[in-house]
Amino acid sequence: MLECIELFAGAGGLSLGLKRAKIKVRVAVDCEADCQATYVKNQRGVEFIVERVQNLTRTDLLGYIDCPANLVLAGGPPCQLFSKLNRSPAEITDEVRSYIRLVRSLRPLYVVFENVPAIKRRSIAWTFVVESLVKAGYQVQWKVVRCDSLGIPQRRDRMIVLASRVEVQLPEASVQEPCTVRDAIGHFPECDASIPNHISMSLSDKNLSRIRSIKAGENSRSKTIAFCDSYSRMSWDRPAPTITTKCISFSNGRFGHPEYDRAITVREAANLQSFPEDYEFVGSLWSCARQVGNAVPPVLGEMLGKAIMHSYRKYRQGREVA
């Protein structure tokens, strides 16, 4: 049986996907208490450590693992430094260094490293990750995955690095028709407090006037309206834009509901990230939005988990024959 430690676990999107693929997640780590509250509310049977990954050692983690030889180490270190918007010089963050340090000390069978595609342009950090994994004895594969090609109703690109001590193949996308905003959130009412996390932020009079002037799929810059920034509504019949930590704010430009005069709710954002509707987020409105925006879509986690499980079964069969 494959066992998993997830670092930088957040609200548990990657864990949920790996568990769907029949990988046993034993322990999750994150430094945010609200992430712990969300995680343990939705995913029972997993130990959650509230701590910075930089402070953890091999000994702290291996006590949760029955068979270290069958370990999957997974996680996505915080990616703000590597985003397109960041213009500061490239550098290797403490979180990335700590991730690689734990790879070296734990020596897992598989390593999943998830981040933004722009990390590859940050040559110092990217070279450090890849070369460190190769020097540690891993076969390293990487690709930029388009989430909408997996049936996730969102135009979100993620860099996936899959390193292993045995043969494994990153899977190809198999979805032909993208899932749309309508598919994901078209059934939700305008407001219903009985639905977990389905509460919207109120709009100022100016923003209410702005959103009422924009039709589904349009933005303010396509109209003769003198706004300094671009405000827009999502289109019903296309995937959503990338869900960010500010996804519940109309003022941040891209998250106007296609029909209702408001931004999307945390619940709707979670659906657009492919979380199940009974997955409840804990914390303030902004904390919940941050958890959703930072999450790995569970469907992406499941795809990776299935690839790992396929590899592991072949590995086990080969050992039995030998």
The catalytic residue positions are: 79
| Distance, C-alpha 266 to centroid of its chain | 15
Q: Which residues of 132-150 are buried (b: 16+ CB within 10 A; e: fewer)?
A: bbeebebebebeebbbbeb
Other CB atoms within 10 Å distance of the CB of residue 181: 26
Residues 6+ apart with CB under 8 A from 242: 154, 155, 156, 157
| Biggest CA pair distance of the chain | 72
Residue 232: DSSP 8-state: B
Strands (E), 85-156: 110-115, 139-146
* Residues 198 and 265: beta-carbon distance below 8 Å: yes
- Phi first, then psi, for residue 129 (nearest 5°) are -65, -55
Residues 6+ apart with CB under 8 A from 302: 16, 17, 18, 20, 21
Cα distances (Å, whole numbers) of residue 182 to 153, 257, 259, 268: 9, 11, 11, 11
d(CA 312, CA 70) in angstroms, rounded, equals: 9
